A and B are shown apart, each in its own frame.
Chain A
Amino acid sequence: EIVLTQSPGTLSLSLGERATLSCRASQKVDNNFVAWHQQRPGQAPRLLIYGASRRATGIPDRFSGSGSGTHFTLTITGLEPEDSAVYYCHQYGSSPPHSFGQGTKLEI
């Protein structure tokens, strides 16, 4: 089973700044099948990025994903108040079980 480790655990930034969230896998993720999901308080998660770098429908281009192999990054530019949330990386590349990281809480 691939274990995903996200860092930092909590990130406190100001409006307009850039956030960089890291996700490291315990082994190579096949086909770079990594997704990023945003979960605002009291809401269901929302898909932001899939295939490591492809934005989901309706996601603004302030959100971008990068990385390959075992290290993946979610970058959010021009932070807005509604970006306050927990962000989870998710690998779905290998044969199941699939897995999620423990989450990074972003405070604006």
Chain B
Amino acid sequence: EVQLLQSGGGLVQPGGSLRLSCAASGFTFSSFAMHWVRQAPGKGLEWISLISNTGADSFYADSVKGRFTVSRDNSQNILYLHMDSLRADDTAVYYCQGGAWGQGTMVTVSS
């Protein structure tokens, strides 16, 4: 069974940093590109990042470019999202997605 198990998230002050993790199982992780998607409270889904299967290429939405960094460890089957310079409008549930979806993790940016 394909599973994406997320960890990380929580409450952080504006300007702070946070790292999200997404542990994959049940499929050949290294064969698939992976996405990060977020959903602000009461809003729709927003695509924010893509990383190629090898990790050689990564792409970002303008809203997070220069502040967020996606990476992956194919030896451990883990996807990461490192978030810097966090702002109030980054408050959202963050999902990893690669076919299946992770369970989501809440990130709240507030003082």
Contact = CB atoms under 8 A, between A and B. Distances in A.
Interface of A: 37, 39, 44-47, 50, 56-57, 86, 88, 90, 92, 95-103
Given A45-B45, A88-B44, A88-B45, A97 B101 contact: no
Contacts of A95: 59
Contacts, number: 49
Q: Give the interface size bracket for B toward A.
A: 20 to 34
Interface of B: 2, 35, 37, 44-47, 50, 59-62, 95, 97, 99-104
A36 B95 CA distance: 16
A103 to B, nearest CB: 5
Main SS of chain B's interface residues?
A: strand
Helix, strand, loop or mixed for chain A's interface? loop
A38 to B, nearest CB: 10
Given A44-B102, A46-B101, A47-B99, A97 B45 contact: no
